[in-house]
Structure 1
């Protein structure tokens, strides 16, 4: 014989409790990753370097031999003195100067908004020809 205990209720999954657990896990992982980032930033701040500061410069005696001035403008265009040149022409001019005197001072005047890549390209060309006396200056 069957005993009737009332309406048969289907078992339910407690959705509210499940959502609470998911939010709890989400917040736990968010907080845990933020602590990890703070530790990484702290390690980056502890690098053992001191950055140089240029408060003054030395006056050079330009009477010996004037520096060869290479200009780089904002767009990366090159100038030898005041004359606009190409990269190939600059390379040839540096090669001629290196044959005469590779101890001559080279001054690279780069615009403050030019790409660092353009300056490095000029420095590479100077180094390729054996120049070691290279100075850099920026313009406003």
Structure 2
């Protein structure tokens, strides 16, 4: 004997669940294809960018004479003026400068091919010592 439980509803596909699945697959493929690799198969560790030139740059003759210049070469080497220094020596010198004058101006001269992380590390060191007047030097694009 069959028991009647009321009207039978026809089965239907839930569009909300289908849209969620399609959205999940779309996000998966977008994220999976965004990982780029170098030609030899290694993932990129730095952005392949060329830093822009400045249309207007200060003439070194008109710049403030008491600016501390810190340079970064293309391989990440750090220079105090024209003298190559280690990270430990750089930190000691920045500490000494900050002890004399917290308003001391610092100029970072970075090579166009310098790793951006090195520039950020220098800025962090300066700010850690309390030196906040930090400027970046750019090439004159004219």
Please, what TM-score do these two structures have when normalized by structure 2? 0.55
Larger CA Rg, structure 1 vs 2: 1
Relative contact order higher in (CA < 8 Å, ≥ 6 apart): 2
Q: Give unmatched runs, 5+ long, in structure 1.
A: 1-32, 38-52
> Once the 2 structures are TM-superposed, how far is the Cα of residue 102 of structure 1 from its aligned partner?
1.3
Q: How does 1:1-140 map to 2 (within 5 A)?
A: 55-57=55-57, 62=63, 65-138=65-138
| Structure 2: gaps spanning 5 or more residues | 1-25, 31-52
Q: 1:139 to 1:111 in 2, by over 3 A?
A: farther
Q: Relative to total residues, which structure has the larger helix share, 1 or 2? A: 1
Q: Shift of residue 68 of structure 1?
A: 0.1
RMSD after superposition:
3.0
TM-score, structure 1 as length reference: 0.56
| Paired residue total | 92
